[in-house]
Amino acid sequence: MTGNFNIRDNDWNPNYPHHSIHTKDLVTLAESLGLNLLPPLNPGPTRFADNPCDTNSVIDLVFINPNNPGFGQHSLHPELCRPSDHVPLTIEVGINESNIDNFVWSICKDSKEEENFIKAITDNILTLDTSNIASKENLETTVQ
């Protein structure tokens, strides 16, 4: 389980002086799924503040199942973060040495299939009744 949890806490950022009231809930949820926090090999901020009055923070976290040997270490890549203010994270994922069948469904560019696909999408969009999109709910219904 990984992502931007938007929780600043001293447990994963020693430069942050406080504990969040949400930390216990996040850790309890992770533990209920059999997951533990995995600190990165190269600790550091995972979000860079865009306001000079704010500080950089650690809010992007990785939780793994410690009993699953398929997942290894994870790293931060601050050199790759722009234009985003979040640092990309990578994690090692072990793949067994076996034949993995990989099927990719695709349409060849400039083919008759691509032309038919684009026409079908265009025709469907053109037939949408947009006369009653006065609210978010009506927009959702129309899009569905």
Low-confidence ranges of the chain (pLDDT < 70): none
- Which CATH code, of 3.60.10.10, 3.30.565.10, 1.10.10.10, 3.20.20.10, is assigned to 2-93? 3.60.10.10
Looking at the DSSP assignment, which residues form a beta bridge with residue 75?
90
E strands present in 27-79: 36-37, 60-64, 71-76
pLDDT of residue 99: 73
Residue corresponding to tokens 């865009």: 50
What pTM did the predictor assign?
Answer: 0.62
pLDDT of residue 52: 84
pLDDT of residue 75: 94
Residue 16 CA: distances (Å) to CA of 21, 81, 127: 14, 22, 54
Residue ranges covered by each domain of the chain: 2-93, 112-143
- Measured CA to CA, the distance from residue 28 to residue 25 in angstroms comes to 5
pLDDT of residue 70: 80
Closest CA to 15 of 47, 42, 49, 55: 55
